[in-house]
Amino acid sequence: MPAKIKALLADNEVYLYGPIGEGGITAKAFIDALKTLNTSKPVNVRINSEGGDVAHALAIYNALNEIPTVVNHIDGLAASAASVVAMAGKTVMAENAIMMIHRPWSGAVGDSDAMRKAGEILDKFQPTLVSAYAKKTGLPDAQLNDMLAAETWLTAAEALEFGFVDEVTQALAVAASADLSAFDHVPERIATIHSQIKTNYREIQNLVELHNQFNAACSVKVEALIAQGMNTPDAVRAHLLNELGKDAKPSGAIAMNNDEPLKNFFTDATDAILARNNVLSSKNLSDGARELAGMNVVAMAEKLVNLQGTSTSLMSKRQILDRAFSMHSTSDFSHLLGNVAGKSMRRAYEDEYGSHEAWTAEVEVPDFKEQTMVQLSEAPDLQKVAEGGEYKHGSFGDAAMTFRVEKYGRLFTLTREAIINDDLNAFTRLPLAFGKSAKRKEADLTYQVLTGNPKLADGKALFHADHGNLMTGSGLSTAAIDMARQAMRKQKGLNSTAPINVVPRFLIVPAALEGLAEQILNSINDPDATNDATNTAFVRGLQLVVDPRLDEVDTGAWYMAASPAQIDTVTRAYLAGEGRPHYEQREGWEIDGLHVKARLEFAAFPVDFRGLVKNPG
């Protein structure tokens, strides 16, 4: 999961979302965020982390123990080193969250002596972990050592029983998004429980999206329903139907209530069309959806018209569709098909790989007006204060980049003819194509920043000799990578003459250099060395990003970027409150059918040159 650390002064909260340690959330970054809160009041720590570096985790744990009142909230996953952090203060765990504890582990490179030394260091961490767990649970050391050796996975109820947590709270939506794929030994019972949680969450999302599509005036949020204890599809369905029926009055048509099959038709029909076209898995379909999956679209429309109390025995296919489209209500067939199109488009957007997302940050802006992204400097250097002397005021510098979110979009049409012919393209493939197109547009605009070398607030290009981030051209090699690392580490802040020690995290190359980059990053030995010198841990730890858009400009140039969690480099901006991509629909007048509009509000812009290095090749 991507690292996210933020401090919310209003709620006195700090978030530990993502891996712990270098390349993720470091102890320093967490403690710096902690210092911005009012520690004289209860501090809330929200945890959703797969763990990481035990040394960083222990430093965070010790810092939290120095605060009078700490409440750790395990929102989704507290695994490995993250479980240690959760032992400080009071610990509450969401009902559908998961905890895992195991012995400290790490990677080591070298001869047998180096391996033994690494093992000895890890062995020294174990008693410290046991001490933290024992202080919390009261369990004997021997039992805790056995649990660590066995890699123990715990549900919230089990964690409460053993004493690892003090309280279990209502289920949270974030737990359904926890990724367990990084772990090799997840017990089957935990995997089964988590799979059911994810399945329930997806079904709840479908129900809520369908409800909001047809009832914009009284839309609801998944998180709000789950927070009220409605964490099963049946409970959510009953609640939504009850809300719909509160102000309903009898009419000539069949009412949509708990006793009529119409209440499930739209959910089942949406799932049936998506599953039939391989956009949704057919494994977890309801019986009603399975029945509808065997029908063509006209037969679905006929079933809807019948449910509304109209006989179709003497109607042609065209008449059935005309009737289904002409209901002008939340039961209109156009809403169903538009919902299918919207789901297909969003699913394709989410599934489409975008290499640009790994190394860039993102923000949301309220409107299309020109926006300013302020880059605040580091704190000024501390100065010596003589005995009885006065402290001198320091100041922060800043630089700002301006940008504006732009609108990109297209229309596509679902015609009545395509619907009568049951053309699969009409319902999923066209929306899928537009969803993928939206993600590609984002990547195009992001890499245009990298290759276009725009000017920054200081009037100089992003990559410039004066910025210290434009290297002398050379081929991709470990030596060249090391030179780029040195250049980035030596960068100075806006307000300081001392290096700020920025650490490269990503190696970004065109497709033409992908094979060479893989050899360099995956080699145990330095491929440039004439002897058997070991490749550096830094080089092997870089994350490779490959994108053919770079080949269109230069097949030899390559780049390095810092983690956006450490420093802003290039940022993606989206319009707040809009879908990614957003879609709208209306029934056609000039043609028979449904118009669907795909729209993306987006901008990509540079913020700080200090986290980027370019080698022209």
Which entry of 56, 102, 356, 467 is annotated as an active-site residue?
Answer: 102
Catalytic site includes residue 195: no
Nearest to 4 by CA among 70, 75, 62, 69: 75
Q: Distance between CA atoms of 117 and 39, rounded to whole angstroms?
A: 39
Q: How many CB atoms lie within 10 A of CB 588?
A: 15
What Rg do the C-alpha atoms of the chain give, in angstroms? 28
Question: SS3 sequence, 126-186?
Answer: HHHHHHHHHHHHCCCHHHHHHHHHCCEEEEHHHHHHHCCCCEEECCCHHHHHCCCCCCCCC
What's the angle, vertex CA 523, arms to CA 517 and CA 525, rounded to 5? 130
Catalytic site includes residue 464: no
State whether the Cα torsion 304-306-311-313 is positive or negative: positive
Q: Where does 277-405 have alpha helices with state H?
A: 287-293, 297-307, 317-325, 333-351, 356-359
Q: Where does 221-332 have alpha helices with state H?
A: 222-227, 233-245, 262-276, 287-293, 297-307, 317-325
Which entry of 49, 56, 80, 344 is annotated as an active-site residue?
Answer: 80
Residue 289 identity: A
Residue 566 contacts residue 22 (beta carbons within 8 Å): no
- Coil/strand/helix, residue 438: helix
By residue count, the chain amounts to: 617
Nearest to 566 by CA among 483, 614, 504: 504
Residue 435 contacts residue 348 (beta carbons within 8 Å): yes
Q: Distance between CA atoms of 42 and 277, rounded to whole angstroms?
A: 51
Q: Distance between CA atoms of 8 and 37, rounded to whole angstroms?
A: 8
Q: Distance between CA atoms of 551 and 190, rounded to whole angstroms?
A: 44
Residue 446 contacts residue 403 (beta carbons within 8 Å): no
* Residue 265, token pair as written in the block: 């038709």
Kindly provide the b/e burial profile for residues 376-400, where b requires at least 16 CB atoms within 10 angstroms of the residue's own CB.
eeeeeeeeeeeeeeeeeeeeeeeee
Q: How many CB atoms lie within 10 A of CB 315?
A: 15
Nearest to 153 by CA among 240, 79, 239: 79
Q: What is the set of active-site residues?
A: 80, 102
